Each structure stands twice: as structure tokens, then as C-alpha cells.
Amino acid sequence: STKYFLSMPSIIVGTAGHIDHGKSALVRVLTGTDPDRLPEEKKRGITIDLGFADLELGDLRIGFVDVPGHERFVKNMLAGAHGIDVLALVIASDEGVMPQTREHFDICKLLGVKQGIIVLTKQDLVDAEMLSLVEEEARELVKGSFLETAPIVALSSRTGAGLEGLKGNLKQVAAKVPARSSDYVTRLPIDRAFSMKGFGAVATGTLISGEITEASELELLPTGINVRVRGIQVHGKSVQSAVAGQRTAVNLAGVDVAQLERGMVLAEPRTLKTTQIIDAKIDALPLASRGVRSRARVRLHLGAAEVLGRVRVIGDRGEIAPGESGLVQLRVELPVVATHGDRFIIRSYSPAETIAGGVVLDPFATKHRAREFDEIKTSLW
């Protein structure tokens, strides 16, 4: 029944890993849904944009967010990574850890993901010795992280070997995921928008907090357009309401699909504001080719949004070097929705490389003059 469906615990599992390591094939064989929906993806055999699929495991409902592995599409990966509860770090047994394995894993650490599973795909292509070496390499990669004691499951999406073991481990890991609160303000970052014949504009995303009910009024940020919810789907089923932590699709009245963009936010009216100046604490990645330099132009990934901006290092140094932490002020070129405690990723402007991640301390900061920075630093810490 719908009531039972809505009461089922729900988690979001995000895949991560290098191109052609079997992320989409894994989701396909687990759920029966092909997450590669674009014609170009099917033609080229690679994932370009986010894909979505659902799985019910007993009384657990899992929403999968399948992300592209190619370095050119990391920005698309970031749009889906912000809402995941559990990371499925996918490593091909015949290749081992590769560059995007590391970058995707770094991103998930910086975004504060706390639970996960390591999945060694293509088990049928290697012998026991090679499998053992790749498992050792995976353990070395995640040493000291949230995945240090995570289960490692070797499987083959082609033969089905190991899939039941993965399902069992997913249920165990899911039990450790705390429920998101529906008490906070409603906030749905949009990661996909499309038009459905006979229904009109549809926006989808992971409901970060709050609740959405049929016929409720919402505000589209940063535009400020007021919209009405005509219909709701959660994990592919039509429902009367959606709660925090669920993959949610909302059919909207009062807006055209051309006005909806990835990165926009649906919120309870007059509860959230946009900003263009943010004070934050950041951690620069130890293995990045560059640090975070004051006045550098960067790409800020916050929620499902990507905006350009400049970073100012707070304090007397001009750069936060790889492996170091520090306070910065981010001044972005377009308005974004940010709240205290939000996590984000910083990528260099060109060439685009993930260089840092951080947490929002003051979402509505004011521009600081150089002499104020030491005073600001003390108050923020």
C-alpha cells in the first residue's frame, strides 16, 4: 500500500569511480533499470549525466544516483553527489584504482559522506591473486577514512556472482544511516528538470530537509518565482507527500520548464535567502596540483549548483597549500542558496581540477577589508 511504501526507510546510494569500471552495469543488474537514459550515452557506452534507479530490499527502499566516471563530466558527478547517504565506491578488478577513483573518493570525503561499501566489479575477468592485489590497493586508498572498515564485495554484473552479498551488505550499512529531519525548512536542490506531456514542468532532486505535500506552495530560488505542487513521485511512485532523504519528483504549476535549471532550489516560501558572499572553512586536497590562492577564480559546487567566483584567504597568508586548512571568503558571480553547515567543493577554473572542499560558516557575510581579516579569523574559529 501507499501508506506502507511511505513508511519504509529510504536511503540514497551514490556510485563513484573511474570511467568504464562498471558503475552503470551494477545499477542496471541490481534494479533492472538502465540509468543511462541519453541517446548519446547508449551510443557511446559511457555515462555522461546523472542516472537514477530504485530498488526495494525487503523493508528498505534504495534510490541509486549513478554518476559519470569520465574526468570531463566531474561537474555532473558533483550535482548528484551532494545528497547521497551511502557511497558505493566501484573499482574494476582488472584495472584497480585509477585517477577518477581517487577524485570521486576525495569529493565524497570532502562532502562529509559517512557510510559506504567498496565494490570490486568484473570479478570474472581476473584470477584470485589479481583480486587480492586490487583489494589490498583499495584498502590502502581508504586508509584513515570513513571507508577504512567498510565491507569489500567482489562481484560480476555479467554473471551475477556476488550480487546477493552486496544486497546483504547494503542493508547492514543502511541501518547505520541516521534519518534526515523533516522538521527543518523544505529544501530541494534541483538536479534534473524536464517537461512531461500532459503534465508540464517536472523537477527532480534529493529532498535535503523538510517535507513537500501535494498542492503546497513553493518558492523557486534564486528567481523568487512562486510555484504550486500539482503532483509528487517518490522513487517512481505517485504519493501525496515526500519527506527528507527521498528522491523526489515534483510536477509544478506556475513555471515553465525553460525557467528551471540544475542548481536551483525549491523551498518553502520566504524561508531561505540567496547570497553571493560566504565565509567558510576549507580543506585543500593533499594531492592536488595546486593550492587555493587568494583572488583566484574558482568553480564553487554547492548543492546541485555550479557557480564561478573568487576566493579570498582570510589571514596573513596568500594561499592555502595542498593538505592545509584555513578560512576563506567566497564571492560568487551568481546568487546561490547556502545555509550554515552546508558542505561544498572548490575546483580550479581552468583546467578544472578538484582542489578543496569545505563547510559554510557564515552564508551572509560582508566583504572584509584586509585589516579586518585577523579579527574575522578569530570570530569564525
Residue 48 or 170, more confident: 170
- What single letter denotes the amino acid at residue 277? I
Pairing of strands 297-302, 319-320: unpaired
What residues pair up with 307 in beta bridges, in sequence order? 300
Residue 293 β-bridge partners? 319
Per-residue confidence (pLDDT) for residue 94, from 0 to 100: 97
Which helix (DSSP H) or strand (DSSP E) does residue 221 occupy? strand 217-221
Mean per-residue pLDDT over the chain, rounded = 91
CATH topology for 274-380?
Answer: Elongation Factor Tu (Ef-tu); domain 3 (2.40.30)
User: If we measure between CA atoms, which residue out of 55, 58, 42, 44 comes closest to residue 15?
Assistant: 55
Decide which of 381 and 69 is more confident. Answer: 69
- Please say if the pLDDT value at position 37 is more than 90: no
Q: Would you say residue 261 has pLDDT above 80?
A: yes
Cis check for the bond before 335: say yes or no (omega within 30 of 0). no
Domain borders along the chain are 2-174, 187-267, 274-380
Residues 119-141, mean pLDDT to the nearest whole number: 97
CB atoms within 10 A of CB 374: 11
| The pLDDT value given to residue 361 | 98
User: Per residue in 54-81, pLDDT tens?
Assistant: 999 988 999 999 887 667 668 888 888 8
- The per-residue DSSP string of 50-111 comes to -EEEEEEETTEEEEEEE---SGGGHHHHHHHHTT-SEEEEEEETTT-S-HHHHHHHHHHHHT
- Which residues, other chains included, contact 371 with Cβ-Cβ below 8 Å and sequence gap of 6+? none
- Per-residue pLDDT, 3: 47
Domains 187-267 and 274-380 agree in fold:
yes
Residue % of the chain over a pLDDT of 70? 90
Contact 192, 37 (CB under 8 A): no
Question: Around Cβ 86, how many Cβ atoms within 10 Å?
Answer: 21
In this structure, what C-alpha cell is assigned to residue 62? 534504495
pLDDT at 41 over 70: no
Query: Who has greater pLDDT, 92 or 67?
Result: 92
Q: What is the number of other CB atoms lying within 10 angstroms of the CB of residue 373? A: 17
140-174 pLDDT, tens per residue? 999 999 999 999 999 999 999 999 999 999 999 99
CATH 3.40.50.300 holds for 2-174: yes
- Name the least confident of 172-181, 211-220, 320-329, 346-355: 172-181
Rounded CA separation 332/68 (Å) = 26
Task: Average the pLDDT over each of 78-87, 219-228, 245-254, 280-289 and give the range with the smallest value.
Answer: 78-87
Check if the beta carbon of residue 344 is closer than 8 Å to that of residue 319: no
Task: Give me 345's grid cell.
Answer: 567543493
What CATH number does the domain located at 187-267 have? 2.40.30.10
Q: Could you give the angle at the alpha carbon of 358 between the alpha carbons of 352 and 363, nearest 5°?
A: 110
Inform me whether the pLDDT recorded for 114 exceeds 70.
Answer: yes
Bridge partners (DSSP) of residue 247 are: 206
Omega prior to 68 cis, within 30 of 0: no
Which pLDDT score is estimated for 4?
46
Report the C-alpha gap between 236 and 96 in whole angstroms. Answer: 34
Neighbours of 197 (CB within 10 A): 5
Q: Rounded to an integer, what is the distance from CA 158 to the centroid of its chain?
A: 27
- pLDDT-derived band at 199, boundaries 50, 70, 90: confident
